[in-house]
Amino acid sequence: YESMGWAVGYLLAGAVAVYSNIFLLSGLIFLACFAMSLKLPPVASSRMRTSLLPFAVIKKNADIYVPFLLRDTGAYCAWTFFPLYLIGLGADSVWVGILYFMNNGTQFLMKQYADGYDYGRLFTVGLLSSAVAFYSYNIPATYLQVIPVQLLVAFAWTTLSVGAMGLLTERNQEKATVIGLFSSTRGFAQILAPLIGGVITQYWGFRALMVFSGSITAAGFAIRLASEKKAAFRRLPSASA
């Protein structure tokens, strides 16, 4: 439902298209969410002691966090300047919102069916398809040609996010910790990406930015393949003999 929230938000933003009204609408929605949260029932849960800086947990799951950090850095490099890219292709504010909606709305539909698959395979496929999607943004000549790429991005994020969170919760007892670190990884990417993306876009343009995003994601995919190969080797009987 996070994806559906983003999808509706983008569509509303594109329809309103006046910044003061967008901020007012966002504030009212947050206020309504706060009011609803006051009525949430308490949830019983067990607590686990973890260190303030859980380096052991990070090291154990580095094969997920590192590729994901590279991919999300590439993604946020792109999303920081994505509306300008669409406007450059002829889109108006409404179409910018619609194109964002296509991505997140499709994610919502796909995520309903993604949970039954192998999490490791989903994560790997998500990295590969993300790299292909970022490179593909260099192809469109008009904003309508961006639609297939948006659908590919939706598939990429669906497989990537479901696979990553599934792997993290499946292999770790410290579920809140690993998901918190997952969110922190996203936050760190959001810090790095605008600066990197700004420099690349300023001097080499948006298409060069997409090449960078695709390449850094492909590097994450290569790291993931190497870690899978290493893990498979360790499982061989001869490796443990």
Task: Return the higher-pLDDT residue of 235 and 212.
Answer: 212
pLDDT of residue 27 exceeding 90: no
pLDDT of residue 160 exceeding 60: yes
Per-residue pLDDT tens over the stretch 201-231:
999 999 999 999 999 999 999 999 998 887 7
Torsion-angle region of 21 (φ positive above 0: left; ψ -120 to 50: alpha; else: beta): alpha
Q: What is the DSSP code (8-state) at residue 46?
A: -
pLDDT of residue 241: 45
> 107, 97, 99, 221: which is closest to 157 by C-alpha?
107
Confidence of residue 41 (pLDDT cuts 50, 70, 90): confident
* Pair of tokens at residue 189: 């990417």
Containing H/E element for 198? Answer: helix 175-204
- The CA distances from residue 145 to 83, 140, 220, in Å, are 15, 5, 27
pTM confidence score: 0.81
Per-residue pLDDT tens over the stretch 45-84:
666 667 667 788 889 899 999 999 999 999 999 999 998 9
